[in-house]
Amino acid sequence: MSNKYTPEQEAQAQKIALQIAEELAGGLQNIIVCTGCKDFLALTAEPEKKYIGGLAFRYPRRFASNHSNEVRIFAMQDGTRKLEWGYVTKEKGYLPLETEEGVAPEKLEEVWWEHTACTVRPPWFVEACRIKLKLGRTVVTPGANEAFTQEEIAKCMKRHSYGDWGDCCDEDKKTNDAALNPKNPCRVLSVYKFEDGRVLWVITEWDRSVTTALLPDEY
C-alpha cells in the first residue's frame, strides 16, 4: 500500500481484506485447486470509488476459465462486493477483463467459482492473507528445542509471521511494525512469555532469509 495512508487506514484495510478472504474461502468441502495464489494485497479505501477496502491477489492463469491472473475484490459502501478480474503482464501492466458488481458477501465464493473456475482450501487461503512477515528458513536452537514442544514453537512462529509480537514492549512493537516496510527492512524480534515462566524469542533477519526460535540467554 502507498505511504500516503495512515497506520490506522492501513490497519482497517488489513481487517477488511481478511474479512473478504474469509467470505471467499467458503466451506471446508472445497479442494485445493489454485495452489499458486500469491502476492496478497489489502486495498485501502477510496471514497471517490465508493469502496471501503478490498483484497487483491494473483494466481496462475491456467487455473482461470476467464484467462485472468489477478482478481481485485472491493468492499463497497453499500455492503456489497465488487469483483474485477484482470491480466497482468510486465509489458502492458494490468488489463481488466471482467467485472461483477452488487455481489452479496454470502455469494462471493459462488460468483468467484462461476467466473474463475478455481477455488482454494479455506484454512490455507485465510492463513496466507494474514501473513505480514516472510520467515525464510526457520531454525530452532538446541536450548529452545529442549525447552519447548514443536507445537509451542510453531504457534509462536505463526504469531510472529502475523505481526503479533507477543510480550515485546510498546517501543519494540513499533520498531517491528516499521521494519515491515519493504523499503527499509530491519531485523524483527518477538518475545513470547508462557504462564510457567518460560520465554521464547523469535528473530527474523533483516533480509528475511532466516527466522530463529531461541532462548533469551542463547542470543
Query: What's the farthest any 2 CA atoms get from each other in the chain?
Result: 57
Sequential pLDDT tens for the chain (219 residues): 344 667 777 778 888 887 887 777 654 333 333 445 556 788 989 888 999 999 888 877 776 778 888 889 999 999 999 999 999 888 888 899 999 999 999 888 788 878 776 544 444 555 666 778 888 899 999 999 999 999 899 999 989 998 999 999 999 999 999 998 888 889 999 999 999 999 999 999 999 999 999 999 998
Q: What is the pLDDT of residue 122?
A: 46
Same domain, 142 and 108: no
- Convert 55-80 to b/e letters by CB count within 10 Å (16 or more is b): bbbbbeeebbeeebbbbbbbbbeeeb
Contact 203, 188 (CB under 8 A): yes
Task: Tell me the CA end-to-end span of the chain in Å, nearest whole number.
Answer: 34
Among candidate residues 104, 130, 156, the one where a domain is terminated: 130
Sorted by sequence, the CB contacts under 8 Å of residue 119 that are 6+ apart come out as 26, 30, 31, 33, 34, 109, 112, 113
What pLDDT was estimated at residue 34? 41
Q: Is there a domain that residue 1 lies in?
A: no
* Cell of residue 55, nine digits: 483484497
Q: How many domains does the chain have?
A: 2
The pLDDT of residue 117: 60
Which three cell numbers mark 98? 471482467
Are 36 and 142 in the same domain?
no
Q: Which domain holds residue 205?
A: 137-218
Same domain (yes/no): 57, 110: yes
What cell does 67 get?
484467462
